[in-house]
Amino acid sequence: MFCCQVATKEGMDIHTYIKYLASGCSLQDLHYNFRIGRSTAGEIIRKVCQTIWDMMRDECLSTPTDEAWSQIAKGFQDRVNFPNCLGVMDSKHIRIVKPLQSGSLYQNHKHYFSIGLLAVADANYNFVDVGSYSKDSDSTLFRNTTLWNEIESGTLNIPRPTPLSASDTAVPNAFVRDEAFGLSTHLLHPYSGTHLTVKKWVFNYQLLRVRWYVECTFGIFSNKWRIFHRPLGVNIEFCVDIVKCCCVA
């Protein structure tokens, strides 16, 4: 593999660089442990991340077929008794060190610097789709993704509407997300407001149970790759390469 060749050129194997992502050690630690320059270690890690993404993205994040979407929906039906769900959508703020001369450009509403990762998770805590790694709000993040374009253009292989178990009325398959995203045929979000009817409250509760899966998936993601337990101290393009690599590795 190319990434192994890149790594071993400097006397280290690829496991060392995976350890950098998994343990959260710094480039300075690699500098002292292997007596190579900090910038050299950074360059090699970035090449390894880019290569892993290029080699694995089509295998791990290819657009599901009609049958694959149906299996994802079956997973939510079996686990939380929620029908016709193609996945749960949410975003995660990846902490970064403030980029030079960026002002407040990458500062989020929680008052720390970050880039956003938008992802869709299934009932097995796997990412179905990831994309749009930037500073934008959740709704803007989503509208910049390939997923949104495929939903709008009808090229996502979404199964035809299917009837619910207690009804003969066909209901569209849809993604579940929070109020930050707009409403459409294939997007569901909770009812807003505090004075809700019992039916609306129950519906919101069911969506909350489904959304728990994407929150758990992000939690697993962060604990698997402990580099995300601290702000990423590299440039924005390098941050994006790290995030993409960890999503498929």
**And the tokens for 12?**
């280290």
Q: Higher pLDDT residue, 140 or 110?
A: 110
Is the model's pLDDT at 158 over the cut of 70?
yes
Q: Which residues does 194 contact at the CB level (< 8 Å), separation at least 6?
A: none
Given this model, what pLDDT does residue 12 score?
Answer: 56
Given this model, what pLDDT does residue 37 score?
Answer: 83
Whole-prediction pTM: 0.87
Q: Higher pLDDT residue, 243 or 166?
A: 243
pLDDT per residue over 2-19, tens digit each?
444 444 455 456 777 788
pLDDT per residue over 18-43, tens digit each?
888 998 888 888 888 778 888 888 88
Q: Taking Cα atoms as reference points, which of 146, 87, 141 lies closest to residue 117? A: 141
Local confidence band at 205 (pLDDT 50, 70, 90 cut-offs): very high
